[in-house]
Chains A and B, each alone.
Chain A
Amino acid sequence: MPVELITGNQAAALAVQRAGVELVAAYPITPQTAIVETLASLHAQGELKGEFVSVESEYAALACCSGAAAAGARVFTATSSHGLAYMHEMIHWCAGARFPIVMAGVNRALGGPWCLDPDQGDSLSQRDTGWLQLYCSSAQEVFDTIIQAYALAEKIMLPCMVIYDGFYISHTYETVDIPDREEVQRFLGPPSFAAQVQPGLPANLHGLSTGETQAKLVRERHRTMKEALAVLKEINARFAAAFNRKYEPVEAYFPGKIKNVVVAAGACADTVRWCLPRLADTGLIRLKALRPFPGEEISLLLEKQKIERIVVVDRNCSTGMGGILAQELKAALYPLNSPPAVYDLILAGGIDFTPQMLQRLLAQREPHRGFAEIWGVDLL
């Protein structure tokens, strides 16, 4: 297997090429642009088959993908920040319409003011739309997750966002193991879902419905999404067997007996992992899947340990509420008898997450009871 030194964005583009994507529609936005550029050059060289559409907006990118997906095509788009926000209406629509679209979401703060740093608020504000959301911590994982996202999306007919941090992952070079196209194709196969639009077969796709019909559709979508966790695990296992790299919807790194757990998603989780050998009594729970939300898995993991304190690394902030991962996590703590204290480390603005920050936080002797909100900017 060839190993290459590439960025997360390049890894994403190569995954798209290897997955046999048939239509790419995209629009430039930092820090995602390099994906589109790489795909464009692959297309120009004839390595990316099918359609490459330079559309007039992110909204159009997703709309274009939806049209092609309706015809049964495997499609891809990528965006960040304002682009993702601009797609919002289509994001809802694609989930409702059950188009198995895969999108790379490269985190970046939303204005105003203009800001390029990797705040996760852009993807997190799409978490209620019905899309699967998988957060990656490395370029390798970006590559691997995009491949698996197609398997998952096409199996359960829900669209999937593969999300990673701008710059930290999108622009840093890593060695990435890139299996060739045939190997990936063997794993993935051609798109197996039936086209919704079939010339000659009358259909009234996504036309006017009553609230009752809508309720049934949402319920079905919700149940499917919840069952998706099991499907994802299956795919993870299949992937591990084929490529020898193992992923889980939630990954726990518990070095022996621990008192503290850091919960993080994306690049921050990798920082924590690097820190673990240097910290005492501390473990990591990495959230790979945010939708479906692996709440039960998390409570099971915590139940087994005597945890005093959880630190959630939230590179986002739901204004007026706090870090979003912390809020979500609290739901997973509900079944516990004596839930640990939760420190919510808010890194809104996408500011740098440093080992020192974590060390300083954990060094506080008297743990807060209950819930504490800590602003990363104050720790810089």
Chain B
Amino acid sequence: MNGEQILEMEKIYLNVVPSTANKTGEWRLLTPTRKEKISPCRQGCPLGGEIPAWLNAIKRNNWAEAWEIMQRKNPFPAITGQVCFHPCTAECNRRNLDEAINIPAMERALGLWRLQNCRPAAPPRRVEGKIAVVGSGPAGLSCAYYLNRAGYRVTVIERAPVAGGLLALGIPSYRLPREILQQELQLLQEEGVQFVLNCSVGRDMEISRLYDDYDQVFLATGAALSRMPSLPGVKLNGVWSALDFLQQVNLGRTLEIQNPVAVVGGGNAAIDAARSAMRIKGIDRVTVLYRRTKEEMPADPEEVAAAAAEGVQFVFNVTPRELKGEQGRLVEAILNRSHTSGEKLIIDRDTELRIYCKTLIFAVGQERDWSVFGTLHREIRLCAGGDLISGPAAVPQAIQAGRIAAEALAAQLEGKPGPDPSPPESGAVTFEELHLAAWPGLAARGRQEDPSAEAERCLGCGTCNSCGICYLFCPDVAVTPDQGRYLFDLNFCKGCGICARECPARALMMEGGW
């Protein structure tokens, strides 16, 4: 201190060491733990996609991590981002603040990132086991993706000349650009999945052969057989089923279609048929005939609106009774008024409306396709999924079915118990449960163009959203930021519980003990 003498005092007071030598973690009775709760979006998602988690990775600009999380549940976000009707978004808590997160757009962005950035250098390391997948719709593709990634050799057998199932032959290309599907298929092939096209199992090949040649077989032949009503005149020229019609359109065939066009049905297939018809050269009068009211239409409202905007007409509360033709060619349809009463549809046989139409497309139902069985006489262990089992559903459900099947088949091959079909979690975190008051700087802000900025809007809802509140409010500086993630340093955490109390996303809990 005076330069001549080192005082005891100097040694004690001036040569200080950080208090981190004092491990206050020993005081702790409760420990903060990340206990993720289900978010409304995830609950809404048929895939159970970990939406807040991958959004969070995008927020941190870590696309590789986002993809890693995404593909655990959904290997085809570029496709679902395009065609899924996003029930996730409908439930998004952020609606209560400003506007739902644009999950489909984010999914699309992540899907495109994956298509651009994930060219595999080599197929995954192989393990023993050959698997045949029948049907190349989303269920089959998803099953193939997961099994291939697990190292099995997968062969997809498809009846049609193109792969993709309804993605290729049902959903119109203006809704799912075919390059996206092509790239996904390409990538699967590069990763080692084999495709056999133009091969109808049950007709071109006995299904029993598959069970001889492969260790496991997954059936995903869908429910794309059209169901036609038994009405007088359905055999007339100009009467179509929606699936056949769309398939022809999608295969690029030139169709003998004449104005005016009527489409019967109220589902998405009906709207797809109507909008696809509108796109055919020379067709400008398309009317959708639906037996119930507009509100009761099962079709996606956005799709209905888009159809109306394109000039499609709608007539509600009508049911066709008879089709009339001239020289075997349809000229008009005779309709009855109809309405719903309770569960039932009441058709008023006394009313009669006529609609002049030269083309009529029925979109009134699909049948499951059991054609694979042909003349099978042998007992097999059936593993099947997608529309084939559920009946007509949607793409994410089919992907989910494919993933679960893949897990089950792999488990069987490895002699392990199969996946536990636990019921989906319920009790999603509500908007009121969120603790947004704790979040400095959180303000209403509509959808953003930039994916990171949009992802930043996600509130987390039961999953860490990297807001950093736990870090901000920890009196012990025991939460460490690590590239947008927050780690608990249990050497120092005293277990006060502030972080868990303040976490806006409700992603933290205090648990007993160390």
Touching chains A and B, CB distance < 8 Å: yes
List, in ascending order, chain A residues with CB within 8 A of B16's CB: 202-204
Min CB distance, B8 to chain A, in Å?
5
A122 touches B (CB below 8 Å): no
List, in ascending order, chain B residues with CB within 8 A of A193's CB: 1-3
Of residues 1 through 34 on chain B, the ones whose CB sits less than 8 Å from some CB of chain A are: 1-5, 7-9, 12-14, 16, 18
Bound-complex Cα distance A163 to B3 (A): 28
| B interface footprint on A195-206 (CB within 8 Å = 1, 0 otherwise) | 010000111111
List, in ascending order, chain B residues with CB within 8 A of A217's CB: 8-9, 12
Bound-complex Cα distance A217 to B12 (A): 10
Bound-complex Cα distance A194 to B4 (A): 11
A155 touches B (CB below 8 Å): yes
Knowing A157-B7, A202-B16, A220-B8 are in contact, say whether A196-B1 is a contact too (CB < 8 A): yes
Would you call A209 and B12 a contact (CB within 8 A)?
Answer: yes
Report the nearest B residue to A191, measured CB to CB.
B2
A370 touches B (CB below 8 Å): no
Knowing A216-B8, A220-B7 are in contact, say whether A203-B2 is a contact too (CB < 8 A): no
Would you call A154 and B14 a contact (CB within 8 A)?
Answer: no
Bound-complex Cα distance A272 to B99 (A): 98
Min CB distance, B244 to chain A, in Å?
81
Bound-complex Cα distance A97 to B7 (A): 11
16 examples of A-B residue contacts, CB within 8 angstroms: A98-B9, A154-B2, A155-B4, A157-B7, A192-B3, A194-B2, A194-B3, A196-B14, A202-B16, A203-B13, A204-B13, A204-B16, A205-B14, A209-B12, A217-B9, A220-B8
List, in ascending order, chain B residues with CB within 8 A of A192's CB: 2-3
Known: A155-B4, A157-B2, A205-B14. 6 other contacts (CB 8 A): A98-B9, A154-B2, A203-B13, A204-B13, A206-B13, A217-B8
Would you call B12 and A98 a contact (CB within 8 A)?
Answer: no
Q: Which of B5, B7, B9 has the most CB of A within 10 A?
A: B9
Interface size on A, residues (CB 8 A): 22
Bound-complex Cα distance A193 to B1 (A): 6
Min CB distance, B495 to chain A, in Å?
24
Summarize A's interface: helix, strand, loop or mixed: loop
Min CB distance, A148 to chain B, in Å?
16
CB-CB nearest 3 A-B residue pairs:
A220-B8, A193-B2, A205-B13
List, in ascending order, chain B residues with CB within 8 A of A202's CB: 16, 18
Knowing A196-B13, A196-B14, A205-B13 are in contact, say whether A155-B2 is a contact too (CB < 8 A): yes
Q: Which of A97, A155, A157 has the most CB of B within 10 A?
A: A157
A207 touches B (CB below 8 Å): yes
A45 touches B (CB below 8 Å): no
Bound-complex Cα distance A204 to B18 (A): 10
Report the nearest B residue to A72, measured CB to CB.
B1
Would you call B13 and A207 a contact (CB within 8 A)?
Answer: yes
Bound-complex Cα distance A203 to B4 (A): 20
Bound-complex Cα distance A157 to B3 (A): 11
Of residues 187 through 235 on chain A, the ones whose CB sits less than 8 Å from some CB of chain B are: 192-194, 196, 201-207, 209, 213, 216-217, 220
Min CB distance, A35 to chain B, in Å?
27
Of residues 153 through 210 on chain A, the ones whose CB sits less than 8 Å from some CB of chain B are: 154-157, 192-194, 196, 201-207, 209
Bound-complex Cα distance A205 to B15 (A): 10
Report the nearest B residue to A216, measured CB to CB.
B8
Would you call B13 and A220 a contact (CB within 8 A)?
Answer: no
Bound-complex Cα distance A16 to B3 (A): 24
Report the nearest A residue to B14, measured CB to CB.
A203
List, in ascending order, chain B residues with CB within 8 A of A205's CB: 13-14
List, in ascending order, chain A residues with CB within 8 A of B8's CB: 216-217, 220
Min CB distance, A365 to chain B, in Å?
54
Report the nearest B residue to A218, measured CB to CB.
B8
List, in ascending order, chain B residues with CB within 8 A of A216's CB: 8
List, in ascending order, chain A residues with CB within 8 A of B13's CB: 196, 203-207
Q: Which of B4, B5, B7, B12 contacts A213 (CB 8 A)?
A: B12
Bound-complex Cα distance A357 to B3 (A): 50
Min CB distance, B13 to chain A, in Å?
5
Bound-complex Cα distance A155 to B3 (A): 9
List, in ascending order, chain A residues with CB within 8 A of B5's CB: 157
List, in ascending order, chain B residues with CB within 8 A of A201's CB: 14
Bound-complex Cα distance A213 to B7 (A): 13
Would you call B3 and A98 a contact (CB within 8 A)?
Answer: no
Bound-complex Cα distance A169 to B100 (A): 87
Bound-complex Cα distance A97 to B9 (A): 8
Min CB distance, B101 to chain A, in Å?
46
Would you call A157 and B14 a contact (CB within 8 A)?
Answer: no
Min CB distance, B22 to chain A, in Å?
12
Min CB distance, B264 to chain A, in Å?
82
List, in ascending order, chain A residues with CB within 8 A of B4's CB: 155
List, in ascending order, chain B residues with CB within 8 A of A154's CB: 2
Bound-complex Cα distance A216 to B11 (A): 12
Would you call B2 and A220 a contact (CB within 8 A)?
Answer: no
Report the nearest A residue to B12, measured CB to CB.
A213
List, in ascending order, chain B residues with CB within 8 A of A98's CB: 1, 7, 9
Min CB distance, B268 to chain A, in Å?
68
Would you call B9 and A194 a contact (CB within 8 A)?
Answer: no
Q: Which of B4, B13, B18 has the most CB of A within 10 A?
A: B13
Would you call A194 and B7 a contact (CB within 8 A)?
Answer: no
Bound-complex Cα distance A202 to B13 (A): 9
Report the nearest A residue to B8, measured CB to CB.
A220
Min CB distance, A369 to chain B, in Å?
46
List, in ascending order, chain A residues with CB within 8 A of B2's CB: 154-157, 192-194
Bound-complex Cα distance A157 to B9 (A): 11
List, in ascending order, chain B residues with CB within 8 A of A196's CB: 1, 13-14
Bound-complex Cα distance A109 to B9 (A): 36
Bound-complex Cα distance A156 to B8 (A): 13
Bound-complex Cα distance A95 to B7 (A): 13
Would you call A220 and B14 a contact (CB within 8 A)?
Answer: no
Bound-complex Cα distance A217 to B10 (A): 10
